[in-house]
Structure 1
Amino acid sequence: MRKDRDMNVDVVALIGIIGTIAGVYLGFWKAKKDSEKSIKEDTIQNTVVATKLDSISKGVDEIRIDFKTQAREIQRIQLEQARLNESVKSAHHRIDELQEFIKKEGM
């Protein structure tokens, strides 16, 4: 009877050890799976962020190009305005000369 009892204790101990080993194995396996899932999710998220940053960068480049184009156009308009101002001054000067001439000649 003692032998049966010792065998039962050995069987129970063996089942406990097997259960413990299985629990440890499954715990590590689950941790590895979670880690892989986390890495995969991080990779996807990083890819999305990188794609959005590329899009923003392209948008900024387009804005910079538009800004340079507008700056050139403003400069061209300013030069044209300066030429027109000079032309208007010259026209006023000629008109003033004509008025003086008319006054002198009495027309």
Structure 2
Amino acid sequence: MTVELGILLAIGGLIISYFAYQLNKTKEVKTDSQESAEVKAELGYIRKGVDDIRIDLKANEKQMAHLSERTTRLEESSKSAHKRLDSLELLLKELEQK
């Protein structure tokens, strides 16, 4: 009888171990799933932030191009104004000499 009792205890221990393993496995899967969902959500927030930064960067690039164009026009205009002023100065000197 002691052998049978020992076998029953061994089989009972195996069954309990198996159910404990299955329970922990289920908990681990749930934990992994939850962590995976959190990581995906955080990646979504990061992706949205990067997209917002790209949109802002494109807007800034357009603004810089516009300002560069305006600066070029102003430089050309000031160069033209300097030429006109130089010619006026020459004209004034000629008039003063007469």
- Same structural fold, with TM-score higher than 0.5 when normalized by the shorter chain: yes
From 75, 80, 85, the equivalent of 2:75 is: 85
Q: Tell me how far 1:106 sits from its aligned partner.
A: 1.3
Which residue of structure 2 lines up, in the alignment, with residue 104 of structure 1? Answer: 94
Q: Could you tell me which runs of 5 or more consecutive residues in structure 1 were left unpaired when the two chains were aligned.
A: 1-9
CA distance in 2, matches of 1:45, 1:58: 20
Q: Give CA-to-partner distance per residue, 1:26-80, whole Å, 9 cap, x none.
A: 1010111111111111001111111111111111111111111111111111000
Q: Tell me how far 1:18 sits from its aligned partner.
A: 2.0
Do residues 23 (structure 1) and 13 (structure 2) align?
Answer: yes
Opposite residue 31 of structure 2, the aligned amino acid is E
Q: Could you tell me which runs of 5 or more consecutive residues in structure 2 were left unpaired when the two chains were aligned.
A: none
TM-score (norm. length: structure 2): 0.92
CA distance in 2, matches of 1:99, 1:47: 77
Q: CA RMSD in A?
A: 1.2
Opposite residue 83 of structure 1, the aligned amino acid is R
CA distance in 1, matches of 2:5, 2:54: 72
Structure possessing the higher radius of gyration over alpha carbons: 1
CA distance in 2, matches of 1:75, 1:65: 16
SS of 1:106's equivalent?
helix
Q: Tell me how far 1:104 sits from its aligned partner.
A: 1.1
TM-score (norm. length: structure 1): 0.85
Opposite residue 58 of structure 1, the aligned amino acid is K
